[in-house]
Amino acid sequence: MRYLGSCIGMILVIQFTVWATSAQAEVFEEGVHYQELPGERSDTAQIIEFFSLYCGSCYQYQPFTAMIKDKWPGILTQQHVSSLTPSGFERSVQEAWAAARLLEVEQSFAERVFDLNFVQRRQVADQEQIYQVFNSLGIERERVEQILSSFQVRSLVRQMQLQEERFGVRGTPTFIVNQKYMMDYRGFRDSEDFFADYLALAEYLLNK
């Protein structure tokens, strides 16, 4: 699973780094705090998060994701990557995530799967468990099967895969701002309040 190293690295930054000073005066440098990507900037403000429900860092980043949603409602799109998933189950998980988005239960779905994977240690690793997760959210199997077989789900999965390739995503979570800037957690090793500083970076890039 090619994402594992980057995922673990981000956990270490959050858990084990000795924080020294916050990002000084919110001065952010290209190549240090973010990477500029080729191509045009999006016309509208947006943040794309590439994540996996099987990534420990993504689980720990949930408060940061919530901060984005609270500060800028409707600006965040979460795309599930095609790897860091039980072998042979990659597309099924992407389809399940697409279905959760279409059913407007993505936050509850993510919370439930994260809890099973990282709190209860009962990894969701087959289709039957996916149906059970949806059922726990009050959505019957028949409705889930209908959504999973829809053109909308196929389109969303294709979009996830194309964007993952376009932005050269190699680790999770990865945050892309305005389709032009990739946020880089490595520039915040000396931060006293990582999530607050990372949010300030997102705001800087949204306005750049």
| Closest by CA position to 81, among listed 101, 55, 46 | 55
User: For position 27, what pLDDT does the model report?
Assistant: 86
User: For position 36, what pLDDT does the model report?
Assistant: 97
Are 20 and 193 in contact, with CB atoms under 8 Å apart? no
Question: Average model confidence (pLDDT) for the chain?
Answer: 90
Residues 92-106 have pLDDT tens digits of: 999 999 999 999 999
User: For position 83, what pLDDT does the model report?
Assistant: 87
- Check whether 23 has a pLDDT greater than 70: no
What residues make up the domain containing 186?
Answer: 4-206
Percent of the chain residues past pLDDT 70, beyond the cut: 88
Q: Residues with Cβ < 8 Å from 65, sequence gap 6 or more?
A: 49, 76, 78
User: What does the pLDDT average to over 63-74?
Assistant: 97
How many domains, in total, are found in the chain? Answer: 1
User: For position 16, what pLDDT does the model report?
Assistant: 36
CATH number at residue 72: 3.40.30.10
Global pTM value? 0.87
